[in-house]
Structure 1
Amino acid sequence: MQGSNKYYPPDFDPEKHGSLNSYRGKHALGDRARKIDQGILITRFELPFNIWCGHCEAHIGMGVRYNAEKKKIGSYYSTPIFSFRCKCHLCSGWFEIQTDPKNTRYVVVSGARQKDEEWDPEENGGFAVHDTEKNEAPVDPLATLEKTTDAQNHLTKVQAPRLEQLQALSEQYTLDPYELSRKVRKRFREEKKVEKGLQELDDSLKGKYGLPEELKLIRDDEGSKKEAKEEWEKGRRILREQSAKRRRIGVEIGSIPSSVASTSRHASKTNSKASGSTALASLRTRILENTARHASHKR
């Protein structure tokens, strides 16, 4: 037993036999090559269209697969023409289908007939596949010349200058790669230095006022100043509205009639007296109860 998981008999000679298939007298494709001496190879073939069997008149749908006898029967220029001979699975009758490289299709040769499902564009108001200019009017030489002139003018006035600009721009970018890289790195270092200074300033402000580190401070620019001014104006306007509302409520309270005020004061006094008398009576009752309890304990 070898590493390739194949058994080599003791009398096997690689120089004499070449391979295990030749040693056993078998083909590498196995049973598929049982007719290889006749130029026939057994292969799996799938019907490219619907057909009617010529023996049992049964319908066989597109996509049904058969073990077909594949054979080369000719060539169209350098493209081979193959024949596929299949046995009907319903009646065991043979039918044959060939390739047609000239028209890029398959054709039924014998034993069956193809179901006609092709759509003819000419019958439906269209053009044939290879004849799209069948009903066009004859070419006008003056119109052709005018189109050619317009195309030449567009090429000269629009396309050529644009191509020159693109070429000049490409040469500018690729003329001195080292110098371009140096400028980019210099600009990057300057921006990094500015960002580092701003970060140090933010850290100092956070440490001075005890702000959390994750707090993001707003940059002091025109946009932030304008936004802060708008917020300040909004808060000031709200404060004025609240102050005016308080003054209005105070004026309304001060304008209550005196009779209503005196009535309310009298009612409050009466309620306070009644509550005072009630509290005094409850206090006397508690004193008497405590005295009686104390006397009973002495006896």
Structure 2
Amino acid sequence: MKSACCQHEIVIQTDPKNCEYLVISGAQKKVEEFDTEDAETMVLPVDEQRSKLADPFYRLEHEEEDLKKKKEAEPLLVRLQRVSSDARHFDDYSINKSLRPKLRSQKKRVAEEEVAARKMGLGIRSVRRRYGGC
């Protein structure tokens, strides 16, 4: 493919075996590292741990450790559930009611700008810049 800004050719190849894309030429692969605690995400098991999890004896031996991890993660999960079920997300009527006057005033302003542009003989709407808001 070609870059949108400079028409430089970028060659990228798929690697289905490793489930990734390989940058052959024209670009560099961007590698971003992050701390799972800062991002408040959970660490997923790597491939070798996945194969261990299929073993029933391994699971039995590590059941206590898994329960401990579950208890540690429980407050975070409860907090996330509370945030997702917050009442403000379910009250669509009041949100729409508060947005309607803003949208009406915006539509009125656009109509006024179009009328002013027609009076000046312009084919496009003249735009007034206002500072501190829309």
TM-score bracket, normalised by the shorter chain, equals 0.3 to 0.5
* Higher relative contact order, chain-length normalized (CA < 8 Å, sep 6+): 2
TM-score computed with the length of structure 2 as normaliser: 0.40
TM-score computed with the length of structure 1 as normaliser: 0.21
